[in-house]
Structure 1
């Protein structure tokens, strides 16, 4: 690389792609190189994927599977479609290399890990080219179209939005949400917001079972059985379990980190599998490795919207590391906010400012429900 320092980003999802675009504008091409590694040849705009996998309306596969063609600016950067299978670190804090499943090895001076999340089956898109994703989308649309009784396991935002899309586009179908706590979402959000969401969901005809769990999603004779023995009619089960993509069977990345650094698992991952970071986004004991996004252990809700708050801090700290300086910026978190759609024209939004602001159908539809922020996302990625 002719003596230039290389920044390697592992993961080209919402966070990784945003950081790659920003760095391509900030790095000096005479001094630096940039490599983005992702297992798919496109960015998935996840806020649109629930509707995209439920119905063919709006043909979202044409707009929210975003190509990388114009992501990097000023001709700075290379995109590799591959999986990282190993990290080989040199002396601690002095760079290293990543090995790809293609057989290639790429040196890094600063490594940014943005692996994101492992999503449940409807949103678990295959690796590789876009055609495979389109086939996956069409398969799930058919499942939703053919089903009459749909059980959604988990009443977080994704579960609520799946129930809302089905209720909107297939009003004759019966949808049941099974949720362990006694209110939708989680305790990050105030009860008044959680109750408002419940009211909005019930008004669409969706049934909610609180205080129960699905340990086995097997459909037997047209029914599923909850932990407490309740039988629910079902011919399709959608289980919403999201976890950090740090212990996947398809990558040895984090195992190799532990071996390469002679570290214990607690040095890199917490008990839930999240990457342990400092407020500078650096890993605890490894100053030349940073991490951002859904897979980090920072105590805040995991949302792609958080990228806009994390991005300037990470970019400033990477530039400082490349120049041999200590990272100057610390992340203090940001306010919690969420926009939960309930089909195209409904939903509830919450902003944790002042007394906690709740906004209903008109605002939520205008901000997200109708178009799912696809146009803005494409502009942010250079299209």
Structure 2
């Protein structure tokens, strides 16, 4: 009697898609991929978001309690019926096909997206957990409340907004911005709008030291001297110069794709041109080397492009890649809790004032951030 040999059908290995970074860009991409039900088939693909945080956060106003809505869990990130997973951990090493976490865990990937954002300093450098963020805010609010004078080093949007928030809540505190340019913001925006910003900030009672620098920030009540010799004394010196790109893990994997400023080189498809020629790595948000201002809206725009391009990469090029065309350089700045300026580069350049800005941004875009995470 002849023997028969049964052959089992081999189990198809799922494609592992991993996003590192749970900020606005990474979270938005993860949520949109999970909802792309026709092309992102959970029977064929696994989706993982890795983030050191167990909450997403935006910066609440100094003495308020906005953290009750600004600290947002990831438990509703994925759409029902097509869930991915969230891994809370810190990636310490990128290897060819896998990631190593600080815990020692190894996570495999076939397609990797880096959305690691930037590293801030001082009050803008949030810890990872809900309890730590609340304690961080409590400690910094106490410092602001006790300070009779505050110097912010950096006059971009964050510096302007924080200066006016502090002045609004603590009117007797002397607040000064030191900025390297002759006008606030930078030359991505027209001088007319920048002059209007200078006028509004001065009107709000904030002092300005323009076209000058503080190379280092002292700690405690002390006097610092600018590069042009002006002496400034304050209880708090705070950096608002913007974040440094958080790209150390990629630099150790392939230093050829990191610019001198620490940003990641990308192709128009937002693919990273790795030295080994592989096209399975993408990047988005504050870390990419792209001639545009890094902000919430651009990170989300990057994610919209990558939904298509990641799906194309994992589905054998069924969808052709879409190049990122950039986004318009509009900017909305709050000047205290109830005012602000909004520049829109349409026609000859449109500027809107207090009523429009306070109506749109009074919640500091927290509702927008909550919507990105499914709330």
Q: TM-score, normalised by structure 2?
A: 0.91
Match of 1:351 in 2: 344
Alignment of 1:31-46 (within 5 A): 31-45=44-58
> What whole-Å deviation, never above 9, does each CA across 1:134-180 have from its counterpart, x for those lacking one?
11111110110000111111111111011110111111111111111
Instruction: Structure 2: state its 5+ residue gaps.
Output: 1-10
Structure with greater Cα Rg: 2
Q: How many residues align?
A: 356
Asked if the contact 1:280/1:327 (under 8 Å) is kept, the reply is no
Offset, 1:309: 2.3
Looking at structure 2, the residues matched to 166 and 77 of structure 1 have their Cα atoms a distance apart, in angstroms, of 40
> What whole-Å deviation, never above 9, does each CA across 1:189-219 have from its counterpart, x for those lacking one?
0000000000000001111011211123226
Looking at structure 2, the residues matched to 207 and 233 of structure 1 have their Cα atoms a distance apart, in angstroms, of 13
Asked if the contact 1:219/1:234 (under 8 Å) is kept, the reply is no
Offset, 1:226: 1.5
Match of 2:5 in 1: none
Looking at structure 2, the residues matched to 279 and 231 of structure 1 have their Cα atoms a distance apart, in angstroms, of 46
What SS does the aligned partner of 2:370 have? helix
CA pair 194-2 structure 1, distance change in 2 beyond 3 A: same
Match of 1:140 in 2: 140
> What whole-Å deviation, never above 9, does each CA across 1:95-121 have from its counterpart, x for those lacking one?
x11111111111111000001011121
Match of 1:364 in 2: 357
CA pair 75-323 structure 1, distance change in 2 beyond 3 A: closer
Offset, 1:125: 1.1
Asked if the contact 1:7/1:109 (under 8 Å) is kept, the reply is yes
1:62 aligns with 2:63: no
What SS does the aligned partner of 1:287 have? coil
Offset, 1:256: 3.6
CA pair 221-43 structure 1, distance change in 2 beyond 3 A: closer
Alignment of 1:275-314 (within 5 A): 275-285=264-274, 286-314=278-306
Alignment of 1:152-167 (within 5 A): 152-167=152-167
1:375 aligns with 2:371: no
Match of 2:8 in 1: none
Asked if the contact 1:14/1:44 (under 8 Å) is kept, the reply is no
Asked if the contact 2:24/2:369 (under 8 Å) is kept, the reply is no
Q: TM-score, normalised by structure 1?
A: 0.90
Looking at structure 1, the residues matched to 63 and 313 of structure 2 have their Cα atoms a distance apart, in angstroms, of 46
Asked if the contact 1:223/1:235 (under 8 Å) is kept, the reply is no
Looking at structure 2, the residues matched to 83 and 9 of structure 1 have their Cα atoms a distance apart, in angstroms, of 12
CA pair 327-112 structure 1, distance change in 2 beyond 3 A: farther
Asked if the contact 1:177/1:206 (under 8 Å) is kept, the reply is yes
Match of 1:79 in 2: 86
Match of 2:31 in 1: 21
Asked if the contact 1:35/1:80 (under 8 Å) is kept, the reply is yes
Looking at structure 1, the residues matched to 213 and 300 of structure 2 have their Cα atoms a distance apart, in angstroms, of 35
Superposed CA RMSD in Å reads 1.6
1:257 aligns with 2:258: no
Offset, 1:76: 1.7
Asked if the contact 1:17/1:43 (under 8 Å) is kept, the reply is no
Instruction: Structure 1: state its 5+ residue gaps.
Output: 90-95, 248-252, 259-264
CA pair 39-219 structure 1, distance change in 2 beyond 3 A: closer
